[in-house]
Structure 1
Amino acid sequence: MKVAAPLQVLIPAVVILPLAVVLPGLCHGGGWDLIGAFAAAALQPSFDPIVLASLLKGLGVTVGVALLSWSLSLLLGLVLGLASSRLVWTTLIGGALPAELLRRLLALPRSIHELIWGLLLLQVLGLQPAVAVLAIVIPYSALVARVISDQLDALPDQPLKALLSSGSGGPAALITAIGPPLLPGVISYGGYRLECALRSATLLGVFGLGGLGNELLLTLQSLEFHELWSGLWLLLAVMLSLESLIRTLRKRWGLANRFGRRQAGVGRRGQEILILFALLLPLLLAIAQNLGIDPAALLHWQPLPPMDGSNWQDALALPWGRLISNTLWLTLLSACLAVGGAPLLLVLVAPWPLGQQLLRLLWALGRLWPPPLTALLLLFVFQPGLWTAALALGFHNLGILGRLLLEGTETCSGAPEDALHSQGVGPRIALLYGRLSALARSYLAYGAYRSDVILRETVVVGMMAGTGLGTQLQESLSSFAWDQISLLLVVYAALTLVGEDLSDRARRRLL
């Protein structure tokens, strides 16, 4: 027997059953009044001019850091992606060894979360705006390079071979053969990374690197919920505007791939992209100047305290088994809540006319609300630990996966669902077997990729909710135990690289 495809997307939601059993025992009941005040304040945000001025200033810093880091990581990632492509090196020198070496080298920076990079750079460079930009650029560049090199190597090589056989040089043949088919993927992924950069810039602000995230943390800690919601609604407006802009550009640039208009469409897209970046360059320079980013200051490093060899024994004696197992359990629980929760909620609200609109709002809040702040909010009523951290991380990723799933149901054909309706099938079953059936494998494939991302993000909520490698990393950073920090980074990088490999295998099997 084999589970039907639409039911496969609901299997991870089974984690809700043990969650319902465990949560009552974790509830200490001391903060439900605060949760109620927090929810009520959503309808009464503060309009104090002083508060709004401070929030807008922080929002400007966050958006500026996001734009700078996104632009630099996209440019650097494109160069590194070309340099780590097997197709490129095979065409130029007849072998792919340099690509293999660079791929393995880039695996390390992308395996470490941008928050860890930010905390490490903070120790070396001190508190300056460039730290937040570099913390995002380092892992994002490696991630972009991986995606671009994979897209390049997956392209059919027949056009390239035809150009080479006709006497074209290697570089010219590469540009002509791989440029047009690669461009749509780069545009689409670049838009996604801009959204991620905005979330990462907000997250880094929560941990003291400036911007709106810092304002949100201070208002939450001081229980100023009206001011907190003013910042959240501002951030939500920016995020939704950004998503709308990216969706519009994708539709505009994606339609030209059909009906034999590929070359003309690519030329038009290329011209518009060049114009867009020409307009973006002076804006980025102005942002860097307003943020006070000084490239020369990056050359002045603060010396780190020396690592005493006698302390390595204490570092090795840490409870590694418990730390690693908690991190893996946190990843699994969060991934199940996010992957299974999105289709379950969508099926439950299908008959309700306003249900999808409420889901859009819920998932938008999940995407914009940084996981550590969700963990702090949950600590008002739940004890710190694995399940509290899983709820915080699962809610954030539920927003991302839910948006993806809802967009998929809107773009796929509704004929199977209509056919089921005409036969008297209820709206929930019709949605499940009519639309979700066609999306099941691709959705689960993206869920496998998202699980890899969740593994990286466990360090974020671990610091707040007291579980996994994240809580130990916070303790080691606060005590400047660099021997422990070094081992933690090695273990964390190894886990994320193994998780990356497993998610790749799962996606290949599903697709």
Structure 2
Amino acid sequence: MALRIGLRPALPLIPLLPGLSLLGVLVVLLRDGHGGGLALLQQFAAGAVQPSIDPIVLGSLLNGLQITLVIAVMSWGISSVLGVGLGLLSSSTFWEILADVRWPAVILRRWLAPLRALHELIWGLLLLQVFGLNGWVAICAIAIPYTVLMARVIADQVDCHVSPAIPVLKGAGATPWAVILTGLVPPLAEPISDHIGHRLDCALRSALILGVFGLGGLGTDLSLSLRSLQFQELWSGLWLLAIAMVVLDRVLRTLRSWSRMLILPVAMASPWVALGWGTQLDLHLAWPVAEWTMFVGNLTDGTVGVKAALEISWPGVIGATVWITLIAGCLATGLPPLLLLVWPSQASLRLQGVVWGALRLIPAPLTALLLLMLAKPSLSLAGLALGLHHGGVMGRVLIDDIRSTGLCSAQTIKACGASNRVSWLYGPLADVSRAYLTYATYRLDVILRDTAIIGMVGGAGLGWQLMEALSSFHWWLVLWIVLISAVLTLLGESLGERLQGSWNSRAMAL
């Protein structure tokens, strides 16, 4: 009898496979490339070492950076506090302890799902049409989806890290709140505090993105500098942003080293601190008045809505959005382990940390504009810009995981006679591959939402259609695009959850 053996790639090889998509992207870029922007890119690179030190420029950039920090810190604090509370209420375990039922958690999760399906930029542009230009527009645009995303992660953590002490406490006759405070909360303190700290970095990048699209802050200054080809001013802003990111990261690491329980009180106090800070800046924080008449009045005619739904070739637009997501997801997942194996050593981890930090520093829309200097617009170029930015995030995750697990496995394999590259492949990379792939599936959801910002720059996908509809005040088309975006994101989340289950992951730590 013939023996059939299924061939499967080894676990550490799987994170490398998405990197093969880089070959296809390079082929497209070589086909569509041109040398017209090489001189500009040289000026851009030169600006990194010769940034502008004009006092007027630095004063404007510092003011923009403070506005961005106020928006990021305030939205981070609000979303952290509300997210933890909603996360507990969205947990089946919480309701089983409290009332021996699960249905409230299921209903709340389904009600919150559409709110997180929209990118913060879409929230910002929609709120801008209703409330006008106001600091609270940017804050709420970040806080709404971040609160619901935080709630989803907290609920997953609670449901997947059920302590064995819970049934013991319930059997001993403890009250439900005593069980929650002693058996449920303590094991979750570390992963929840890590996630809250990580979201501050994300909130800062989101505030920067909103500024790029005109909602104020440093992002607006960077966008104007790039469009006017003032690269020295651009790099002055980027260096200030880098310093702010490093300082915030050090502060959070210091707080965690003192006590991980300090993160939540800091998040609770941060909105009040940011509010006082914002009143000293050129940031309008008076509560805005909504103007619904124009928005609602254009949605009363149902026949216009039907015609609007037929104006767009939905299969093509959705296909472009999904294709950009796949390209960016493959590049973001495959590039960090590929670079790790090019030069596997402890020294390379430090250098790679700098590389991934630089890619996180430059917003994806600005990366796309830089790439447009070298090639014609295409889906591959949009995917590359988005993939490089998210590759910076994935690279940080990979390096942090490797440092936390240690390099003992690589030393052991190398002592058996294996080469340095093989010892790293089947040592540290194998140790973190499962957690890395699980985080990659979660990151794919984020990339799908981020296609909105790249589509607006590159003229493709749902993002481009949304920008065109908003600029022409075609509210029925805006409504259809938002609904399709939400459904597409929720389908992506469902697929991501199945992929996470296939990697035997319990919950996301970031």
TM-score category, normalised to shorter length = over 0.9
Letter of the 1:491 partner, please give it. Answer: I
Is it true that 1:336 corresponds to 2:336 in the alignment?
A: no
Residue of structure 1 aligned with 2:18, choices 12, 16, 24: 12
Separation of aligned partners in 1, 2:219 and 2:239 = 13
**How far 1:340 sits from its partner (Å)?**
0.5
Following TM superposition, by how much is the alpha carbon of 1:384 offset from its aligned partner in structure 2, in angstroms? Answer: 1.2
389, 402, 409: which one pairs with 2:395?
Answer: 402
Helix, strand or coil at the partner of 1:297: coil
Q: Residues 290-314 of structure 1, C-alpha deviation per residue, up to 9 Å, x if partnerless? A: 3555454255656425134333343
Partner SS, residue 30 of structure 1: coil
Q: SS state of the match for residue 383, structure 1? A: coil
Q: Secondary structure at the match of 2:403?
A: helix
Counterpart of 1:460 in structure 2 is 453
Question: Which moves more between the two structures, 141-150 or 290-299?
Answer: 290-299
Mapped to 2, the partners of 1:33 and 1:443 lie a distance apart of: 38
Q: CA deviation at 1:316?
A: 2.1
CA distance in 2, matches of 1:281, 1:466: 36
- Read off the aligned partner of 2:501 and give its amino acid letter: R
Query: Which of the numbers 280, 297, 304 marks the counterpart of 2:288?
Result: 297
Per-residue CA distance 1:27-83 (angstroms, 9 max, x = gap) = 132211101110111111111111110000000000110000000001111121122
Q: Distance in 2 between matches of 1:213 and 1:427?
A: 43
Partner of 1:327: 321
| CA displacement, residues 272-292 of structure 1 (integer Å, 9 cap, x when unaligned) | 457646764652331343355
Measure how far apart 1:113 and its partner are.
0.4
Is 1:473 matched up with 2:473?
Answer: no
Q: Indicate the SS of the match to 1:10.
A: helix
The SS at the match of 2:170 is helix
**Using a 3 Å threshold, how does the CA distance of structure 1 residues 27 and 2 change in structure 2: closer, same or farther?**
same
Partners in 2 of 1:140 and 1:340 — Cα distance? Answer: 27
Question: For residues 283 and 328 of structure 1, what CA distance do their matches in structure 2 show?
Answer: 40
Alignment of 1:47-196 (within 5 A): 47-156=53-162, 158-196=164-202
After TM superposition, the score normalised by the length of structure 1 is 0.92
How far apart, CA to CA, are the structure 1 residues paired with 2:269 and 2:478? 42
Q: How many residues align structurally? A: 494
Q: What is residue 264 of structure 1 aligned with on the other side? A: none
Measured in 2, the distance between the counterparts of 1:395 and 1:281 equals 32
- Whole-angstrom CA distance in 2 between matches of 1:282 and 1:23: 48
Letter in 2 for 1:234: L
Q: Is the 8 A contact 2:364 2:454 kept in 1?
A: yes
User: Which of 382, 385, 388 in structure 2 is aligned with 1:392?
Assistant: 385
| Pair 1:90–1:295, CA change in 2 (3 A) | farther
Cα distance 1:157–1:402, how it changes in 2: closer, same or farther (>3 A)? closer
Aligned match of 2:303:
310
Contact 2:81 2:267 in 1 (8 A): no
Query: Is residue 412 of structure 2 the alignment partner of residue 419 of structure 1?
Result: yes
More divergent stretch after superposition (204-213 vs 406-415)? 406-415
Cα deviation digits, residues 305-329 of structure 1 (max 9, x gap): 5134333343222110000111111
Q: 3-state SS of the aligned residue for 1:51?
A: helix
1:274 and 1:423 mapped to 2: Cα distance? 47
Q: Report what 1:247 is aligned to.
A: 253
Which residue identity does 1:398 align to in structure 2? G
Name the counterpart of 1:347.
Answer: 341
Whether the aligned pair in 2 keeps the contact of 1:416 and 1:434 (CA below 8 Å) is yes
Q: Does the 8 Å contact 1:330/1:390 carry over to 2?
A: yes
Report the CA distance between 1:166 and its aligned residue. 3.1
Q: CA 1:315/1:378 → structure 2, altered by over 3 Å: closer, same or farther?
A: same
Alpha-carbon separation, structure 2, partners of 1:412 and 1:36: 40
Which structure 1 residue ranges, 5 or more long, are not aligned? 254-268
Superposition pairs for residues 166-245 of structure 1, below 5 Å?
166-245=172-251
Q: What does the per-residue CA deviation read over 1:323-346, in whole Å, with 9 as the maximum and x for residues that have no partner?
A: 011111111010111100111011
Alignment TM-score, normalising by the size of structure 2: 0.92
User: Sequence identity, in percent?
Assistant: 44
Partner of 1:403, secondary structure, is: helix
Contact persistence 1:68–1:288 (CA under 8 A): no
**Shift of the alpha carbon at 1:347?**
1.0
Equivalence for 2:273:
283
Distance change in 2, residues 1:275/1:112 (3 Å): closer
* Equivalent position amino acid for 1:170 in 2: P
Describe the shift of the 1:390–1:355 C-alpha distance in structure 2 as closer, same or farther (beyond 3 A): same
Deviation at 1:148, TM superposition (A): 1.0
The letter of the residue matching 1:229 is W
Q: Which runs of 5+ in 2 are unaligned?
A: 1-6, 505-510
- Alpha-carbon separation, structure 2, partners of 1:119 and 1:285: 22
- Asked if structure 2 preserves the Cα contact closer than 8 Å seen for 1:86 and 1:96, the reply is yes
User: Residues 124 and 302 of structure 1 are in contact (CA less than 8 Å); yes or no, is this contact kept in structure 2?
Assistant: no
What residue is the counterpart of 1:431 in the other structure? Answer: 424
Q: Could you report, residue by residue, the CA deviation over 1:187-230 in whole angstroms, capped at 9, with x for unpaired residues?
A: 11100111100000000000101000000000000100001001
SS at match of 1:9: helix
Report the counterpart of residue 262 of structure 1 in structure 2: none
Question: Could you tell me how far 1:94 is from its partner in structure 2?
Answer: 2.3
Query: Is the Cα contact below 8 Å between 1:123 and 1:302 reproduced in 2?
Result: no
Quote the RMSD (CA, aligned, Å): 1.9
SS in 1 for 2:248: helix
- Contact 2:91–2:158 (8 Å) recurs in 1: yes
Is the Cα–Cα contact under 8 Å of residues 121 and 131 in structure 1 kept in the other structure?
Answer: yes
